[in-house]
Amino acid sequence: MSVITAADTGALTWNGMAELVLQGGVLSREDAIRILEAPDEELLAILDAAYRVRREYFGQTVQLYYLKNAKSGLCPEDCNYCSQSKISDAPIERYAMLSAERLMDGARKAAESNARTYCIVASGRGPTNREVDHVAGVVRQIKEQYGLHICCCLGLLEPEQALKLKAAGVDRVNHNLNTSERFHPEICTTHTFRDRLQTLSICRDAGLELCAGMIVGMGEVNGDVADVALKLAELNVESIPINFLHAIDGTPLQSKHELNPRYCLKVLSMFRLTNPKAELRIAGGREVNLRSMQSLGLYPANSMFVSDYLTTPGQKAEEDFRMIADLGFQITAGDYDSAKLLELWKIPHAKACGSEAAGQCGCG
């Protein structure tokens, strides 16, 4: 069956794009760029088109992810955006792989905050075999005790390592593209875009689901953002985290502040319309870049992190639950609706909110 494209139908209104996508068509690169370049007056119509597609595949549900920085800093790579890289002077916590107890404690907090997925993230180019064995052992325990969906973000992986993670019960691996192939050399020289694609391919071959996204606002142009979205559609990834650069002092990108909330919403809408069935997650930089318009991001996106990021604190989980309840949306994991969760959170939050997670690791 041939795929319908916008060029075939001439469907160039925002709503026409939604129709096209709902009929199984794909957006052209030109249309993807047109969304990003649209005037702000068109924003509500663009969000409406993206929301139509989100509703079709995800209804009004929101999936929460809880992230644990299992190993922080000490990374030999030179990713310009990352506070954990060897070229960053950011004053972050630096520590080797956390003990099984600490990782289990993170799983407990994820379960308490009603997250569906617990993300175990480690800094570095890639894990040692010993680190993979350690994580695999902990994942077995987490599965037994909490039954959480597990996503691991450990950097570049070898085929045997991916198979080991799969055998331990890991559901998904996160490995972001971060930016387009064209722009990648501008933000990192110690590994290539092709290296990243290779890890995704190794994970797919091991039977793991894929989570891969980007960091917007590093100096790329709209064509780069569109290229990442179309590449992820081609790879058919299950999950797409969109980070909006939170420029961290001490990193080479510390003075990049190019984003505004309206543009961020157009980016999320474009990703929804190019990847209609993928989980689309508002990830790092949500609070500083979307600011008062955060809740609108959940019209195109259907997922977000709760609590902190890798090296930066997030908004309080209580405020996230309130935002979801105010939208009339439902959290998918666990037995509670968002209003009840808001009540329940007040008790464990006071003792459970340890801010250990931190920055925007491009492995994650």
Minimum distance of ligand SF4 from residue 81's CB (angstroms): 7
List 63, 69, 85, 243, residue binding ligand SF4 (CB under 6 A): 85
Amino acid at 33: I
| Binding flag, residue 199, ligand SF4 (CB under 6 A) | no
Q: Are 161 and 194 in contact (CB under 8 A)?
A: no
Nearest Cα neighbor of 57 from 26, 27, 18 is 18
Name which of 241 and 362 has its Cβ closer to ligand SF4. Answer: 362
Binding range to ligand SF4, per CB under 6 A, among 79-87, 224-232, 248-256, 328-336: 79-87
List 31, 77, 112, 320, residue binding ligand SF4 (CB under 6 A): 77
Name which of 90 and 296 has its Cβ closer to ligand SF4. Answer: 90
Rounded (10°) CA dihedral 226, 230, 233, 238: -40
| Binding flag, residue 143, ligand SF4 (CB under 6 A) | no
| Binding flag, residue 361, ligand SF4 (CB under 6 A) | yes
- Site track 20-59 with ligand SF4 (rule: CB under 6 A), x = hit: ----------------------------------------
Residues linked to residue 239 through DSSP beta bridges, in sequence order: 211, 279
Nearest Cα neighbor of 84 from 52, 48, 124, 28 is 124
CA distance 274 to 5: 11
| Binding flag, residue 177, ligand SF4 (CB under 6 A) | no
Q: What are phi and psi of 338, to 5 degrees?
A: -65, -30
Binding range to ligand SF4, per CB under 6 A, among 12-20, 43-51, 78-86, 246-254: 78-86
Minimum distance of ligand SF4 from residue 361's CB (angstroms): 5
Minimum distance of ligand SF4 from residue 104's CB (angstroms): 23
| Binding flag, residue 195, ligand SF4 (CB under 6 A) | no
Nearest Cα neighbor of 81 from 309, 293, 320 is 309
| Binding flag, residue 285, ligand SF4 (CB under 6 A) | no
Pairing of strands 279-282, 303-305: parallel
- Dump the DSSP string for 38-98: --GGGHHHHHHHHHHHHHHHHTTEEEEEEEEEEEBS-B----TT-TTBTT-------B-SP
Name which of 71 and 281 has its Cβ closer to ligand SF4. Answer: 71
List 50, 82, 229, 290, residue binding ligand SF4 (CB under 6 A): 82
Count the alpha carbons within 13 Å of 260 in the hemisphere toward its beta carbon: 6
Binding range to ligand SF4, per CB under 6 A, among 20-28, 80-88, 301-309, 330-338: 80-88
| Binding flag, residue 363, ligand SF4 (CB under 6 A) | yes
| Binding flag, residue 79, ligand SF4 (CB under 6 A) | yes
CA distance 140 to 88: 34
Sole residue written with tokens 């909110």: 353
| Binding flag, residue 171, ligand SF4 (CB under 6 A) | no
Residue ranges in 90-129 that form contacts with ligand SF4 under rule CB under 6 A: 123-125
Name which of 109 and 191 has its Cβ closer to ligand SF4. Answer: 191
Q: Is the dihedral of CA 158, 159, 164, 167 positive or negative?
A: positive
Binding residues vs ligand SF4 (CB under 6 A): 75, 77, 79, 82, 84-85, 123-125, 155, 361-363
